[in-house]
A and B are shown apart, each in its own frame.
Chain A
């Protein structure tokens, strides 16, 4: 039984595209701007403009749309659920009636708005993670957060935690698999019994996993200390981020489009 084969973290897909070459900070800020605008925009034309903009961005990234849609699939349920909730719970002009439930005009309007917002939210974050390697993402976040150091946001620590998590998730997954196999070999049963029983059956996996993880953390801390790690102060970076003219052009176009989509009320 193989549970986790060839795990790769994140969904980064390497392509030789303009979007991939953009500075991670620019992409992160772009996504933040898009998300903010999505929740401010209040017209269908506005949504249409943003949708068109996202479509262009994804096309420029040369990533097959199926990868983007893959990110949406698991959330389809949540989107339809919110849609329905809004349909039935918003007071207003009743236009249709099923049993005791009333569908209102306002409900349809709001429900659709929220769904489109969620849809765009997922599209834009997928666009970011598909085109930015986890390392670049971590570096970008660290650099962006470093402005917040003044208000004591531990930028370096957060980035280091992300790096270590990215490094160890595959290792811990492999280990989980080994433990599961070892327990199955000893006659453990993970497939039958009721819910409580099944949860109980997972204890013999979780406990060794935790003990080993603490052990690893101990070793890792010693190895880091031996390699002169003493926190973020005075630390340099192997990977240099640089903002080029293409980044400038991109962020200006983005700002322009987002402002237009917000102000456009027909």
Chain B
């Protein structure tokens, strides 16, 4: 379990002014959860997830992962073994000169024996479907493929938590869909806990739970249905609802008797068919 206990965080700015990037965050993410985090630019999403593996430490409060405190200088390495991270820019996360060497990078760091490393790299490559590219050089891959390599690198470590900070924002629609499919599979088949930051509401709608951040606070924490039911409140936070939900709301306004919080096409089709 990931647990934030009253976490407040200040960045040290040059002017020495203290603006809280997180203030009084309390949250629990359980093993096997499939959650999204949304919020306007600068609302503190990245700051929040960087607390999970001790890349940032709280100014006040505690962050616990499997009851290990991120403040503990030794335990933080055990936390990082369990918490994989995927960042936004696919170009700035790959370290080695070939795909397989990069996937092995984390394993080398934690001192896994060569033989086991080989097995784990093969396994991770298979899961993300990159077996054919194991010898490729990273700079020759597409953005989506690079992100898959990063995911494989985390998987090889046998992580139980995978944190993704806007992993698809630099990808084309096809690559975006592919990453989300992989992430869903990891949650269902490998029971890996997923925490997924996104700017795309249509992506967020596919998770079990959404955290909405605003100015360093969690303002909503609910299922997508309930969150996107509050379109007015979201608008106030510079957030929108998914396009399909907008359509549903417009249809409701024009007098159709369907729910206003439809989240995907199938659902929409189901309700519209009632009118035929």
Contacts and interface: CB of A to CB of B under 8 A. Distances in A.
Contact of A228 (B77, B89, B92, B118): B77
A223 B87 contact: yes
Interface in A55-73: none
A234 interface: yes
Interface in A158-177: 163-164, 166-167, 170-171, 174
A85 interface: no
A178 B38 CA distance: 32
A65 to B, nearest CB: 27
B145 interface: no
Contacts, number: 97
B91 A227 contact: no
Contacts of B92: 215-216, 219-220, 223
A220 B95 contact: yes
Contacts of B137: 8, 170
A106 to B, nearest CB: 48
B85 interface: yes
Contacts of B80: 225-228
A219 B109 contact: no
A225 B100 CA distance: 19
A219 B94 contact: no
A224 B139 contact: no
Interface string B36-68: 000000000000001001010000000000000
Contacts of B53: 226
Contacts of B69: none
A244 interface: no
Contact of A226 (B85, B97, B104, B114): B85
B148 interface: no
25 contacts: A134-B97, A135-B96, A135-B98, A164-B95, A170-B137, A171-B91, A219-B89, A219-B92, A220-B93, A223-B87, A223-B95, A226-B53, A226-B80, A227-B80, A227-B95, A227-B106, A227-B153, A227-B154, A228-B77, A228-B157, A229-B105, A235-B111, A236-B107, A237-B114, A238-B100
Given A163-B97, A223-B95, 10 more contacts: A8-B137, A171-B139, A220-B93, A220-B95, A223-B92, A223-B150, A227-B109, A228-B81, A238-B104, A238-B121
